[in-house]
Amino acid sequence: MSYLSQVQLGTIRFWPREALIVKVSDIIALARQAALHSGTAAKLYGIANFLETGMFARVGRSGLAAIKDRQYDHKTSATPEITSAFDLLEDLFRLQPRREYWLIGSLFSRILVASDAAYENGKGSAGFLAVLNPGKPNEVRVGRVIEIPPEIYHLWGGCKTYIAQLELLAVFVAMVELADLVRRSHGLWCIDNIAALMALVKGTSGMPSMD
């Protein structure tokens, strides 16, 4: 659902209809108290997928994997993974990360970002470079080399290489580091790893460590 009350000010805001949020919240509350059957899981998964298109793009979609899997088995108990999915949805409802699109050029800045990573001989590295208002008198450049905590590989499980995970991590770190600088900006993001790019575009991934 879009909120058009701000159009005259040059912005459109997006957030799902309240009825959808109430419906998902009611299903979650019932599942926490009783059980989550396959049919209910299918309904919850469908509504949540649709609902999240009204949020900040596809925020939260990857967290639905456990609910999606429940559609195809005969179990009923809420596993830790399903409970985590419930927690994620409820956190999103509470935080309300509203998407806002700016219609007038003077309201936003231009941004150009490139992120990259490498994984060789069991060691990973990553970094990014961002240019705000490139070529303008008020141009700002920010670059970071990302320190990779060794314990993060344990979270991703055993893999022959972690290059795609590191490429995705570089994007997330850049988003957090640059948040205050690039808010209200439009631009381009350069990334050369297809697996990481598709995880970002879809909001989910078939590989658990990427999800």
Annotate 43-63 with DSSP letters as a single string: HHHHHHHHHHTTSSTTTTGGG
pLDDT digits (tens, 9 = 90+) for 153-169: 988 888 888 999 999 99
pLDDT digits (tens, 9 = 90+) for 126-160: 999 999 999 999 899 999 999 898 888 988 888 88
Q: Are 35 and 78 in contact (CB under 8 A)?
A: yes
pLDDT digits (tens, 9 = 90+) for 185-205: 888 999 999 999 998 888 778
Which position has the token pair 């429940």? 70
Q: Does residue 2 carry a pLDDT above 60?
A: no
Angstrom distances, CA of residue 10 to CA of 105, 187, 198: 9, 18, 30
For the chain, the domains span 2-100, 108-202
Residues 93-123, buried b or exposed e (16+ Cβ, 10 A)?
A: beeeeeeeebeeeeebbbbbbbbbbebeeee
Q: Are 167 and 193 in contact (CB under 8 A)?
A: yes
* Residue 187 β-bridge partners: 111
What pLDDT sits at residue 105? 65
For the packed helices 80-95 and 18-33, what is the interaxial angle rounded to 10 degrees?
150
Q: What angle do CA 143, 157, 76 make, to 5 degrees?
A: 120
Residues with Cβ within 8 Å of 77's Cβ and at least 6 positions away in sequence, in order, are: 35, 36
What pLDDT sits at residue 57? 62
